[in-house]
């Protein structure tokens, strides 16, 4: 075996042709590769990146920050967006840099990023920018971070149809390799057709890791012959002919996109199906990988598919599609199975293009032949369910096979067993130990609060009288519509500092304009904790927020903190702002809820997770003390847990009944557990936690984690 010289820096080294990286790192390398490809083509281009964080692309900005020196050397500017639509507008601006002869570069290639809700709120920008067009040596790639199963969102997102509505072509990669490949194709497509290009980024790809071929000259991108209109398809200086833009988009740009996709073979037939194909399977992106897994579980490889007549097509660009994309593939087929997640995009276009043609095979996808759900729009597709659906149709259409039949029955049985499994316990998400929200989301008896986007959303699942939530930036606007029609006189609205900075100040302005009786609790945690602990864009501070809301018209401002004495003299606070310790939260809120109109409570306490990270880096004070509970004194009343709401206060079963203990491994030294009246607490100064001693491993170090091939295959299909 040949040993290669590898290092962690290889991922961004353009001299290396094979590298190991994550999906977010692939985006960084893509930018460096585009710059180098342009340089070798004789172009002096620059790059620009802007967007707003949120899983599954929540870590992208961190990768861009860490690669800042390399990006700067390649003339790539990273400017985090205050929110998604402003970031999109900035990307639109990059395509205008050369319109009036003032550009420093031949063009600027640009990347926008945002998760599903960010796509929703940016469609107005997308529509205008796509109509206007991209620059000939620039191009824009829009990364859509779709959360198909609402793992970190308030609802499930599939945003391809938003890009279809704005007529932006879509590329859907399957794996890290294709993030780079489709990204390069996407820039080229954007330049050629004068459109933006969308790149779908689901967690299965952007959060995965792989070894990829990433040579700068690896792709030979083809620009097809195309009959361009007078003036071309790219952005034009000072154009105000809106109907002319619309005409170019519909009459030329879409055809140019299709010509580019066909010329580069992006949608391709992977298996020909042999001499007499009967079934065709079409899939895209992550679903394509599920299909390959499903076919493998059915015992079908390319040779078997050729023998029994199965044709397979991989779609790279699910929109736009035309008859020419499908014509050769569907020829002679009896059935086409379309496997795609969420709402139909490929299947609907296939049916439309086949309608009225001489050959019309049966098409199934979202629905079966008899109209029942086959690959539902809800949730995510499961390779085992795909195996059953595909296997059953192979048996009916191609002919009986004992091996395929037995595999289908086994997989169906395993799925039935899994569906019968009941959860024995459910772990509800909760605040971290020492989280500021343990204190900040409490409301006085008789009051109610509303949630919003951020970690504080979890208060909904707690006994905190927190009811409902809004989309990001709408916090409090729902009360404007609710208050005239309810007996409730007042509400507290939780609003994170990141959301306030993003768009929440507009909702506060609306509440002021409407004269709503509401108290905004602006929760300043000094980090956008939910997406990785990034700093607030623009360096927003507590005193700056206080001045802003006073300028908006808020008269009563109360600042509450775990350290109210920490503010240095000379800070520019608005007149009549008051300062309080968090122990006074209940009294302060009781006063604010009686005030007519809009009041603001600024709760200032650093995110506990960020404290922990910064302490490890030595950038945040680490109190030289720890709290313990003497179990011989503790009476197990639990008041320490009630006062602190802290998960580090844990039950301890003893021969004298249940007591309490502090889990030192998770404690973030918030010390709010001391707020309870209890003599069992012990404060220890100057002590360190004893670390467990390592033990030597005996025997084969791989034996404990080794699976046989039989075990792996049965785990995959769900058998135990």
Are 177 and 70 in the same domain?
Answer: yes
pTM of the model: 0.91
Are 253 and 315 in the same domain?
Answer: no
Backbone dihedral angles phi then psi of residue 113, each to the nearest 5 degrees: -140, 145
Residue 718 lies in a domain: no
**Structure confidence at residue 533 (pLDDT):** 72
Q: Dig out the tokens for 438 from the structure.
A: 């343990």
- Could you tell me the CATH number of the domain that includes residue 455? 3.40.50.970
Percent of the chain beyond pLDDT 70? 96
Among left, alpha and beta (phi > 0; psi -120 to 50; other), residue 355 is: beta
Indicate the residue among 582, 610, 638 that finishes a domain. Answer: 610
Q: 150 with 342: CB under 8 angstroms?
A: no
Greater confidence (273 vs 400) lies with 273
Buried b (16+ CB within 10 A) or exposed e, 173-182: bbbbbbbbbb
Structural domains of the chain, count = 4
Greater confidence (9 vs 311) lies with 311
- Asked which of 238-252, 555-569, 611-625 is least confident by mean pLDDT, the reply is 611-625
For residue 303, count CB atoms less than 10 angstroms from its CB and return exposed for 0-12, middle for 13-18, buried for 19 or more.
exposed
Are 35 and 170 in the same domain?
Answer: yes
Each residue's pLDDT tens digit, 78-137: 999 999 999 999 999 999 999 999 999 999 999 999 999 999 999 999 999 999 999 999
Are 454 and 382 in the same domain?
Answer: no
Sheet of strand 578-581, all strands in order from the earlier edge strand to the far edge: 449-450, 491-496, 518-524, 598-604, 557-561, 578-581
Domain span at 322? 268-419
- Could you tell me the CATH number of the domain that includes residue 362? 3.40.50.920
- pLDDT bracket for residue 699 (50, 70, 90): low
Are 578 and 487 in the same domain?
Answer: yes
**Structure confidence at residue 707 (pLDDT):** 45
Are 600 and 660 in the same domain?
Answer: no
Element (H, E) at 181: helix 176-193
Greater confidence (716 vs 1) lies with 1
* Alpha-carbon distance values, 681 to 332, 339, 456, 623, 661 (Å): 79, 60, 28, 17, 10
pLDDT of 719 strictly over 60: no
**Overall average pLDDT of the 15-27 stretch:** 94
pLDDT of 698 strictly over 70: no
**Overall average pLDDT of the 398-402 stretch:** 89
Each residue's pLDDT tens digit, 27-68: 999 999 999 999 999 999 999 999 998 888 888 999 999 999
**Overall average pLDDT of the 346-374 stretch:** 94
Residue 690 lies in a domain: no
Residue 39 lies in a domain: yes
Q: 123 with 241: CB under 8 angstroms?
A: no
Are 375 and 518 in the same domain?
Answer: no
Residue 619 lies in a domain: no
- pLDDT bracket for residue 402 (50, 70, 90): very high
Each residue's pLDDT tens digit, 257-308: 999 999 999 999 999 999 999 999 999 999 999 999 999 999 999 999 999 9
Are 575 and 637 in the same domain?
Answer: no
- Could you tell me the CATH number of the domain that includes residue 663? 3.30.70
Are 273 and 256 in the same domain?
Answer: no
Residue 705 lies in a domain: no
553: helix, strand or coil: coil
Residue 707 lies in a domain: no
pLDDT of 393 strictly over 80: yes
Torsion sign (Cα): 635, 636, 639, 645: positive
645: helix, strand or coil: coil
Are 227 and 293 in the same domain?
Answer: no
Residue 636 lies in a domain: yes
**Structure confidence at residue 407 (pLDDT):** 95
Pairing of strands 18-22, 76-78: unpaired
Are 280 and 415 in the same domain?
Answer: yes
Are 106 and 203 in the same domain?
Answer: yes
Average pLDDT, the chain: 92
Q: Which of 395, 338, 331, 403 is nearest to 365 (CA)?
A: 338
pLDDT of 585 strictly over 50: yes
Q: Is the peptide bond before 340 cis (omega within 30 degrees of 0)?
A: no
Q: 60 with 120: CB under 8 angstroms?
A: no
Each residue's pLDDT tens digit, 590-608: 999 999 999 999 999 999 8
**Structure confidence at residue 714 (pLDDT):** 42
Indicate the residue among 245, 263, 281 that finishes a domain. Answer: 263
Indicate the residue among 372, 387, 419 that finishes a domain. Answer: 419
**Structure confidence at residue 581 (pLDDT):** 96
- Asked which of 152-161, 180-189, 471-480, 486-495 is least confident by mean pLDDT, the reply is 152-161
Q: 634 with 678: CB under 8 angstroms?
A: yes
pLDDT of 545 strictly over 90: yes
Own/partner pairs, 123-126, CB within 8 angstroms, 24+ separation: 123/162, 123/165, 123/166, 124/85, 125/85, 125/88, 125/89, 125/92, 126/88, 126/162, 126/163, 126/166, 126/168, 126/196
Residue 3 lies in a domain: no
**Overall average pLDDT of the 438-445 stretch:** 94
């Amino acid at each position: 075996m040949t040993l290669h010289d590898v290092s962690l820096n290889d991922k961004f080294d353009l001299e290396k042709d094979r590298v190991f990286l994550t999906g977010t790192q692939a985006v960084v390398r893509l930018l460096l590769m585009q710059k180098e490809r342009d340089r070798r083509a004789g172009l002096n281009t620059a790059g620009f990146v802007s967007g707003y964080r949120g899983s599954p692309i929540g870590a992208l900005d961190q990768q861009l920050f860490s690669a800042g020196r390399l990006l700067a050397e390649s003339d790539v500017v990273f400017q985090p967006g205050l929110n998604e639509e402003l970031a999109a507008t900035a990307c639109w601006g990059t395509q205008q840099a050369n319109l009036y002869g003032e550009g420093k570069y031949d063009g600027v290639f640009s990347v926008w990023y945002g998760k599903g809700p960010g796509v929703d709120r940016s469609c107005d920008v997308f529509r205008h920018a796509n109509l206007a067009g991209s620059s000939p040596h620039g191009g824009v790639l829009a990364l859509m971070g779709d959360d198909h199963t609402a793992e970190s969102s308030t609802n499930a997102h599939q945003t391809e149809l938003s890009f279809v509505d704005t007529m932006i072509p879509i590329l859907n990669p399957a794996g890290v390799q294709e993030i780079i490949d489709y990204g390069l194709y996407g820039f080229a497509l954007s330049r050629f057709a004068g459109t933006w290009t969308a790149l779908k980024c689901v967690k299965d790809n952007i959060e995965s890791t792989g070894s990829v071929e990433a040579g700068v000259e690896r792709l030979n991108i083809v620009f097809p012959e195309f009959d361009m209109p007078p003036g071309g398809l790219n952005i034009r200086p000072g154009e105000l002919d809106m109907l002319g833009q619309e005409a170019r988009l519909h009459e030329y740009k879409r055809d140019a996109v299709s010509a580019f996709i066909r010329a580069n073979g992006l949608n391709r037939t992977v298996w020909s199906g042999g001499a007499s194909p009967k079934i065709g399977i079409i899939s895209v992106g992550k679903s394509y990988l599920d299909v390959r897994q499903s076919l493998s579980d059915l015992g079908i490889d390319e040779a078997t598919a050729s023998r029994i007549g199965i044709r397979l097509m991989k779609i790279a660009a699910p929109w736009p599609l035309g008859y020419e994309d499908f014509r050769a593939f569907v020829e002679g087929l009896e059935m086409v199975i379309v496997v795609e997640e969420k709402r139909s995009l490929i299947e609907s276009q296939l049916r439309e293009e086949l309608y009225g043609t001489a050959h019309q095979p049966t098409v199934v996808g979202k629905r079966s032949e008899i109209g029942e759900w086959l690959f539902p729009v809800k949730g995510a597709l499961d390779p085992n369910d795909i195996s059953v659906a595909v296997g059953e149709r192979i048996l009916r259409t191609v002919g009986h096979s004992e091996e395929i039949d037995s595999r289908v029955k086994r997989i169906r049985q395993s799925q039935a067993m899994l569906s019968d499994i009941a959860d024995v316990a459910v772990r509800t998400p909760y605040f971290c130990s020492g989280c500021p929200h343990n204190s900040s989301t409490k409301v006085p008896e008789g009051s109610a609060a509303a949630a919003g986007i951020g970690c504080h959303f979890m208060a909904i699942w707690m006994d905190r009288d927190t009811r409902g939530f809004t989309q990001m930036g709408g916090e409090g606007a729902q009360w404007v519509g609710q208050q005239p029609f309810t007996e409730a006189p007042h509400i507290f609205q939780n609003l994170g500092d990141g959301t306030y900075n993003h768009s929440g100040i507009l909702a506060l302005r609306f509440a002021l304009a409407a004269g709503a009786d509401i108290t905004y609790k602006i929760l300043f945690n000094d980090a956008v904790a939910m997406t990785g602990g990034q700093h607030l864009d623009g360096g927003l501070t507590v005193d700056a927020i206080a001045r802003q809301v006073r300028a908006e018209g808020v008269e009563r401002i109360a600042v509450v903190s775990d350290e109210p004495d920490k503010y240095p003299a000379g800070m520019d606070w608005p007149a009549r702002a008051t300062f309080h310790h968090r122990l006074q939260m209940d009294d302060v809120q009781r006063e604010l809820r009686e005030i007519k109109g809009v009041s603001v409570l600024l709760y200032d306490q650093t995110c506990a997770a960020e404290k922990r990270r910064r302490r490890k880096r030595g950038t945040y004070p680490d109190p030289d003390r720890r709290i313990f509970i003497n179990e011989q004194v503790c009476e197990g009343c639990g008041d320490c847990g009630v006062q602190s709401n802290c998960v580090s206060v844990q039950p301890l079963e003893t021969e004298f009944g249940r007591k309490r203990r502090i889990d030192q491994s998770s404690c973030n030294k918030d010390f709010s557990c001391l707020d309870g009246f209890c003599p069992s607490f012990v404060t220890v100064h100057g002590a360190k936690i004893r670390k467990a001693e390592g033990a030597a491993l005996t025997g084969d170090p791989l034996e404990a984690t080794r699976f046989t091939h039989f075990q792996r295959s049965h785990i995959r299909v769900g058998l135990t």
